Amino acid sequence: METETERPQDPQNDSQQDSKKPNPSSLAFRIWPPTQRTRDAVIARLIETLTTPSVLSKRYGSMPTDEADSAARSIENEAFSAADAEAAASAEVDGIEVLQVYSKEISKRILDSVKSRASAAGTGSTTALDDSNNGTEAAGEASEDAASSVEMEA
């Protein structure tokens, strides 16, 4: 029966092993731009928001899936372009700030999209109340969900 013997610790060997481990301070965590997979998840969430019962659909009506698909792709693409332009404009802007721009752009564009559809269809209110917290809050929830998808992916 063989027994395992403890080998003496070699400080030089330990330091060589430590050097192979990544240094946490040298790791780079990149949050912008999001991966295509993340962008697709954002689009899927936008489609869900536009087609299922929500604060937005109660106020402005829901969209058929095919219309929501094209609207969601357009919303995400325009929001991504706006945020990417913000990132390119200043090298000092960090990923979190760009992600906030992306989220705000999604909120603004989803709200604009449902408002314009509702006014074209003659449903929903298009008075000054449209800018109340109800519509803005619902659009904000959708973009926060989208932003959390980006954060979870990164």
Alpha carbon 146 to its chain's center: 4
User: Alpha-carbon distance 149 to 28, whole Å?
Assistant: 19
* One pLDDT digit (tens) per residue for the chain, 154 residues: 555 555 555 555 555 555 556 566 667 678 899 999 999 999 999 999 999 998 989 999 999 999 999 999 999 999 999 999 999 988 788 889 999 999 999 999 999 999 999 888 875 544 434 444 455 455 555 555 555 555 555 4
Cβ distance 135 to 125 under 8 Å? no
Cis peptide upstream of residue 24 (ω within 30 degrees of 0): no
